[in-house]
Each structure stands twice: as C-alpha cells, then as structure tokens.
C-alpha cells in the first residue's frame, strides 16, 4: 500500500502504522481513511496529501 505525504507539513501517512490516535487502524489504505480525517501534525485536509514520490 502506498504512503502519502502531507503537502502542508511533510507528515507521511504510512498505511502499515495507520493513525490509531485518531481512529485510523493500522493497515488502513489511504483511500479508505474517512474524508473528515485531517493531518495529525498540521490539521490539513485529506485533499492536501499526495502519494509519496
């Protein structure tokens, strides 16, 4: 599964880790994260993420 980078702050979403603090279980693909999820570092919306190069 692909990692995604926040274009605002550079945080990397790694599907293997998920974002358990904010209700996203490890193993969740980026596309399956709820639309109202935001970057845990800077609060940017899901639309601000790009696939990691």
Interacting residues toward another protein by CB under 8 A: 7-12, 14, 17, 21, 41-45, 48, 53
Q: Would you say 32 or 41 has its CB closer to another protein?
A: 41
Give least dist CB 47 to another protein, A: 10
Give least dist CB 31 to another protein, A: 19
Give least dist CB 50 to another protein, A: 11
Other residues' Cβ atoms within 10 Å of the Cβ of residue 19: 19
Query: Are 49 and 7 contacting, i.e. CB atoms less than 8 angstroms apart?
Result: yes
């Amino acid at each position: 599964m692909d990692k995604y980078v926040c274009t605002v702050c550079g945080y990397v979403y790694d599907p293997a880790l998920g974002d358990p603090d904010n209700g996203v279980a490890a193993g969740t693909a980026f596309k399956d994260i709820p639309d109202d999820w935001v970057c845990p570092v800077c609060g940017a919306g899901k639309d601000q993420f790009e696939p990691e190069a």
